[in-house]
Amino acid sequence: MLPPGGDWVRRDFLKGVLAGTAAWIAAPAKAVAQARNGTEKRADANAPAAFVPILQGATTSTTAQFSLLIYKDLDIRIGVSYIDRASDSAMADVQLVLERKHRDDSPWIAYKLRVSGLEPGRQARLDVIGSDGRLLDQREFSSLRDTAPETTRFVLASCMHDDWLKESPAMWDALSAAKPDFVFLLGDCVYVDTGPWSSITPERIWRRYVETRLTLGLYRWTQLIPVIATWDDHDFGKNDKDSRWGMKDASRAIFDAMYAQEPTDDGAVFAGPGIARGFHAYGHRFLVTDGRSFRSSRWARAQRETFWGPEQDAWIENELNASDAPAWLLNGTQYFGAYRSGLAWSFEGNHAARFSDFVHRIRSVRAPVVLGSGDVHFSELQKIDRSVFGYETYEITSSAMHSYPRSLPKGNPRRLAGTSSYNFCLIETRMEDAALRMDLTCLGAGSRELFKIKDLTVRR
């Protein structure tokens, strides 16, 4: 039973110190294992599920955050233990902070957890136990390993429509098999506006998040992978919506309830304007921007036009100028896309005056900057030649995991490779002789290589 009154804004905080592998785990392992098989239809958001949708969020070498959806149970317990340790050894230094939000019109409660004091890279287990003592779910995770600075493997992915039930499971299996250090979800992670466009309410936004989490393999992985997300229009709430969108505050609050990416004490994870996040790992800097909350109409006059908004522009500029370490500027909407005349769903195409300012600002940044984006339902690697930023760099657009199909548009002179098959982009990067080097592999179902480009170099 949910407590009476209030709405989803209500929060509860629990703090506790966990001790080792808890004795109260009586494992109905079969039920959990069965629940991880692929689903065949979109889940019913009012019915209980045989598993707990879990997403590992922002993670550092000593902390990990998680978001969970729990059916009606306000008294769950969490057990955390190292997998390779004797069962009686305690993790007395592991602290759990728990926050929960729910709506009176939904039986699902969104929990956010933070586990700190972890040993870098050590495999651990997360047990979710209901108030009746039943093991509701069990996953494995680790914090980031603390070795090989400046070398990392990560994934960019976007556009994951929960109606693509046949295509979806193989995509999430392939992403899991790629074993990246972390994943950036670059928008359209929930298609809120599927169905009638006229009636988008907070209840509906929440319900679509729940349905998506009950359906996609991403939320069922046995071995969790840290995820940091931003949104694009469909998870912001409606096709091509911008700062004038009436549901933007409700949408923001639901996004914040669903993704565990709170700033960390060591500054490795930090917040920007809107839902923007910064993340430092392995000597690389990632800025995951909010391309929707502050955006003006695509039809605004040049002087009134904004894309990230002045505050976020300043945040990006300050962060990029804060060091010489390589920086990845990630956004839902594609940056360079004006070649698609008449269908210019890009920063360059729709907000040309601000795009010109952006290019000017990046020119003066001393660090090498690489661009990442999603949204367009095809993936492509674009080479941005020296004439633009003063050095050669790249834009990697990763779309779609599984969504409305689109053929690869012709006529992009910057494109080095592309695909319109369902895919995600794996980036393996390192610093060599003061230059950023990377291999880009675009992978599809069955871990099929759709394209692979090795030894791309960005040198400032």
188 binds Fe ion (CB under 5 A): yes
Comparing CA positions, the residue from 147, 128, 18 lying closest to residue 71 is: 128
Rounded to the nearest whole angstrom, what is the least distance from the CB of residue 332 to Fe ion in the complex?
9
Rounded to the nearest whole angstrom, what is the least distance from the CB of residue 409 to Fe ion in the complex?
15
Closer residue to Fe ion in complex, CB, 165/453: 165
Closer residue to Fe ion in complex, CB, 159/258: 159
- What phi and psi, each to the nearest 5 degrees, are found at residue 272? -115, -170
Closer residue to Fe ion in complex, CB, 73/188: 188
Rounded to the nearest whole angstrom, what is the least distance from the CB of residue 418 to Fe ion in the complex?
16
Euclidean distance between CA atoms 292 and 274, whole angstroms: 9
Rounded to the nearest whole angstrom, what is the least distance from the CB of residue 42 to Fe ion in the complex?
17
Rounded to the nearest whole angstrom, what is the least distance from the CB of residue 27 to Fe ion in the complex?
39
The stretch near Fe ion (CB under 5 A) out of 135-143, 188-196, 238-246, 412-420 is 188-196
Rounded to the nearest whole angstrom, what is the least distance from the CB of residue 191 to Fe ion in the complex?
7
Closer residue to Fe ion in complex, CB, 97/165: 165
Closer residue to Fe ion in complex, CB, 69/192: 192
Site string for Fe ion, 198-227 (x = CB under 5 A): ------------------------------
Question: How big is the site for Fe ion, counted in residues (CB under 5 A)?
Answer: 3
- The distance between the two most distant Cα atoms of the chain, rounded to a whole number of Å, is 66
Closer residue to Fe ion in complex, CB, 339/345: 345
Rounded to the nearest whole angstrom, what is the least distance from the CB of residue 403 to Fe ion in the complex?
5
Site string for Fe ion, 383-422 (x = CB under 5 A): --------------------x-------------------
Cis, peptide link before residue 353, omega less than 30° from 0: no
Closer residue to Fe ion in complex, CB, 72/298: 298
- What phi and psi, each to the nearest 5 degrees, are found at residue 3? -65, 150
Q: Segment 28-47, which members bind Fe ion (CB under 5 A)?
A: none
What is the dihedral sign for C-alpha 295, 298, 299, 300? positive
Residue among 54, 70, 110, 159 that touches Fe ion (CB under 5 A): 159
Rounded to the nearest whole angstrom, what is the least distance from the CB of residue 375 to Fe ion in the complex?
6
The stretch near Fe ion (CB under 5 A) out of 50-58, 185-193, 304-312, 419-427 is 185-193
Rounded to the nearest whole angstrom, what is the least distance from the CB of residue 215 to Fe ion in the complex?
16
Closer residue to Fe ion in complex, CB, 21/403: 403
Closer residue to Fe ion in complex, CB, 56/334: 334
Residue ranges binding Fe ion (CB under 5 A): 159, 188, 403
